[in-house]
Amino acid sequence: MNDKRLLKWLMLLVIAPIALAVFGGDQFRYPCQDPKNWDAPQCQKPLCDVTRTCPEHIFKGQRDPRLGPPAENTPGPVASAAPRPLPGAECK
């Protein structure tokens, strides 16, 4: 009796993740993560700037890996300079 019940739970635990992987489809946490929505009004400033869901906020300056490698003539992200310490605020 317990063996049949254990086998049913084992089958469920094996089949459920496989079914989710096959039938789950592409889902995004934020609508602006989907490259298809980048031109949508909800992903344009100032609307997305309020909720911090603009593509540049979500990827934080990184390129979306689903778009493939960048073209050779495309400039990369600009590195920001390190902040300077305030004068007189040196630690010893």
Tell me the two tokens of residue 72: 């050779």
Under a CB-based contact definition with an 8 Å cutoff, are residues 41 and 53 in contact? Answer: no
Higher pLDDT pick, 7 / 86: 7
- Look at residue 56 and tell me if it is in a domain: yes
- Look at residue 41 and tell me if it is in a domain: yes
Q: What is the pLDDT, as a whole number, of residue 9?
A: 93
pTM of the model: 0.41
Query: In terms of residue numbers, what domain contains 61?
Result: 29-65
Under a CB-based contact definition with an 8 Å cutoff, are residues 64 and 54 in contact? Answer: no
| Domain count across the chain | 1
Q: What is the pLDDT, as a whole number, of residue 13?
A: 93
First to last CA, the chain: 72
**pLDDT tier, 31 (very low <50, low <70, confident <90, very high otherwise):** confident
Give the tens place of pLDDT for each residue, 39-69: 888 888 888 888 888 877 777 766 666 666 7
How far CA 11 is from CA of 1, 18, 23, 74, in Å, comes to: 16, 11, 18, 50
- Look at residue 4 and tell me if it is in a domain: no
